[in-house]
Structure 1
C-alpha cells in the first residue's frame, strides 16, 4: 500500500468511527438525571446527563490512590439496563489534592455531595492518574473495565459552565489548560471517544466575552459544541435556547461542529422552543428534568413535550414548510408534519 493510500484508508477509518459514535443513540432527546431522585433517572432509549453526576474526582478518589466506584458503577448499570447513553461530565476537583497546595475553599451549588474546592488541580500528574483510571474503567476495551460493562461511556464532557465561579474558580487560561489536557489524555486512552465542550451558560454578554477568548484556544480539542439555556430569575427565555447566537459565535471563531443543548429549561410552550432550537442547528436537546431547581414546566406543557418526543424522536432532519408547519424527515424516507400553534 502506497503512503497516499494509507492516508486515504486512515481518513476513511476515522470517518467511519466518528459516524458510528454519533449514531450511538438515535434519540434527539435526553434529560439531566439524578439517581437519588426516582423522578429524574431519565427515559429508556434516550440520552442522560447525570448532574452533577458521579464522575467527580472527589467522589471517586477520596484519598490518593484509593478509589470508590460504587456510585459511578450504579449509574452505568442503570443506563445499560434502560438503554440510555451517558454524557459523562468530568469534574477535576478533589479535596485531598487541592489541600496539598492550600487552595482556597469555594462554595458550589451541590453542597456536601461535591468538592469543597473548585480550582485548577495542584498537580496535573495527579489529575492525569485519576482521569486515566476513570476512562479505563468505562471505555469498554476489555482491560480493567467495570464488571458487566456492555455499553461503554464514549461521550465525555469536560467541566461545566466554567465562566461561573460556582463551577470553576480559576482564570480563563487555567480552564483552557485543564480542558485541552483532559481531551488529549482521553483521546490517547480511548480512540473512539467523543469530547463534548464544557457547556456555555447562555449567550449573555459575560458568557460571550468568556467564550470569545477561550473557544479559539480549545476548538481543536472537542467534537461537540455545547450550549445551556436556563431561564433568568425574572422568567425571561430565549426562543431557540440561544442556539442561533451560539452558532454565530462559533462561526466567528471558524468552528463548524455539531451543536447540542445539554441543559434546556423553558418558560413558554416547550415544543415550540425545541423546534426553534432544532431549526437553528441543535442536534440533541437535554431537558433539565422534572424536578430540577428553578422554574417548573406545567403538567400540560410536560405532557405536550413528552407526546412530541414520543411521536417525533429519531428524525434525521427537519425543515420549515410554512409559518405554521415544519416537516420531520426520517432515515427510511418517511416524513411527519407538525403544526405550530
Structure 2
C-alpha cells in the first residue's frame, strides 16, 4: 500500500463550506474565501470550467488587452463577460490575469513579434507597451467594468473581480519579451492604477515559474522593487516533461526566498502540476510550508496528466478537508486540520 492508498481519517462529522470574506495573515486586510483550492479554467473546454464554490484562474484567460481592445478605442467584452457570468452562477472567485499586450499598439512602435504558447487566440507581441497612456486607457476600462461600484459595470454584475494578477511568469520570454526593468515598470504602474481605481482590490504577484536557479536569480532582483505593490506572493509548479517534481511544490524554497528578502506576504500556488509526485502528500506539504491556496492546472492542461486514481483522491481530499483555517503535520504521515467552528480533522497520508 503506497502513501496515497492509506485511509483518510476524519474526526469532524460534517463538512461545512462558508464562502465568506475574512482577514488574512500578516495584518493585511485581504478578502479570502474559505476554500483553499481552485483550478485553471478555459470556457471552451467543459471539463476545465472549475468547481462550484472554489477559486478559478482563467488561463491565459480573457483579460488580454489584445482580446478586449482589438482596435484602438473599440472594446469587446463578450469573452470576459462569459467568464464572469459563469463564475457568478457557480459561486466561483476569479483570479484575473492581466496581459498588457495589444497587436495594434505594439505595431505602432514596430516592436518585434514574440512567440507565446497560446497560439492565435492570444497576442503576437509580448513586449512592454509602446505607450503607457494607451495601456492605462485599457486597464482603467477593464477595472471599471468589473469593480462592482455601480458605474459602468458589466450588466447584472453581482460578484466583482477583486483579485488581479499582473502578468505571468515574466522571467520566461514566451510570456514576456522584455527586461527586468520593463517588467517592474509595468507591474508597479498597473498595481498603483488598480489600487487607485478600486480601493478593495487585491494584487497578486505575477507567478514565479518555479524555483530553479534562473527563477531565483530573477525574483531575487525583482521582488525588492515590487514588494510594496502586491498583496499576495505567487509561485507556480509545473513538472518537467519526464514528470520530475518538487515534493512541496517549491513552496518551501519560495518561502525561504521571501524571508531572505524580508518580505512578509501570504503565499498562493496558482499553478500546481504534480507530475510523478504523490498528490496528497505533496498538497499537504505545500500547505504545511505556507501555501494559503493551491490552484490545480486542470484535467486537460498541457503536460503530464494526473492519473484518474490521483484525481479521484484529490477530489476526495478537497471534499473532506476544504475550508480549514490552519493545518500542521503532526507526525511523519499525519496532518491535523483546524476549522473556524473549533473542530479538527486528522488526515493519514
Band the TM-score falls in, shorter-chain normalisation? over 0.9
Which residue number corresponds to residue 4 of structure 1? none
Pair 154,18 (structure 1): closer, same or farther in 2 beyond 3 Å: farther
Structure 1 residues 16-73: Cα deviation after superposition (integer angstroms, max 9, x where no partner):
x954x423x2100000000010000000000000000000000000000000000000
* Match runs of 1:46-125 below 5 Å: 46-125=54-133
C-alpha distance in 1 between matches for 2:187 and 2:77? 23
* Match runs of 1:228-247 below 5 Å: 228-247=236-255
Which residue number corresponds to residue 312 of structure 1? 321
- Runs of 4+ aligned structure 1 residues displaced above 2 Å come to none
Q: Is 1:30–2:38 an aligned residue pair?
A: yes
Q: Is 1:131–2:156 an aligned residue pair?
A: no
Structure 1 residues 77-128: Cα deviation after superposition (integer angstroms, max 9, x where no partner):
0000000000000000000000000000111100000000000000000000
Secondary structure of the equivalent of 2:88? Answer: helix
If asked which structure has higher relative contact order (CA below 8 Å, sep 6+), I would say 2
Secondary structure of the equivalent of 2:164? Answer: strand
Structure 1 residues 237-257: Cα deviation after superposition (integer angstroms, max 9, x where no partner):
000000000001001111000
C-alpha distance in 2 between matches for 1:74 and 1:236? 36
Q: Is 1:337–2:339 an aligned residue pair?
A: no
Which residue number corresponds to residue 325 of structure 1? 334
Q: Is 1:168–2:138 an aligned residue pair?
A: no
- Per the normalisation by structure 2, the TM-score is 0.92
C-alpha distance in 2 between matches for 1:306 and 1:72? 28
Which residue number corresponds to residue 296 of structure 1? 305
Secondary structure of the equivalent of 1:318? Answer: strand
Report the CA distance between 1:234 and its aligned residue: 2.5
Secondary structure of the equivalent of 2:94? Answer: strand
C-alpha distance in 2 between matches for 1:93 and 1:118? 6
Would the aligned equivalents of 1:18 and 1:192 in 2 still touch at CA under 8 Å? no
In structure 1, runs of 5+ residues without a counterpart are 1-12
Secondary structure of the equivalent of 1:22? Answer: coil
- Per the normalisation by structure 1, the TM-score is 0.94
Report the CA distance between 1:263 and its aligned residue: 0.1
Structure 1 residues 165-216: Cα deviation after superposition (integer angstroms, max 9, x where no partner):
0000000000000000000000000000000000000000000010011000
C-alpha distance in 2 between matches for 1:141 and 1:18? 22
Structure 2 counterpart of 1:204, from 205, 212, 220 = 212
Q: Is 1:252–2:263 an aligned residue pair?
A: no
C-alpha distance in 2 between matches for 1:41 and 1:215? 32
CA RMSD of aligned residues (A): 1.4
Normalized per residue, the structure richer in helix is 1
C-alpha distance in 2 between matches for 1:167 and 1:209? 17
Structure 2 counterpart of 1:286, from 290, 295, 299 = 295
Number of corresponding residues = 325
C-alpha distance in 2 between matches for 1:70 and 1:78? 12
C-alpha distance in 2 between matches for 1:110 and 1:85? 23
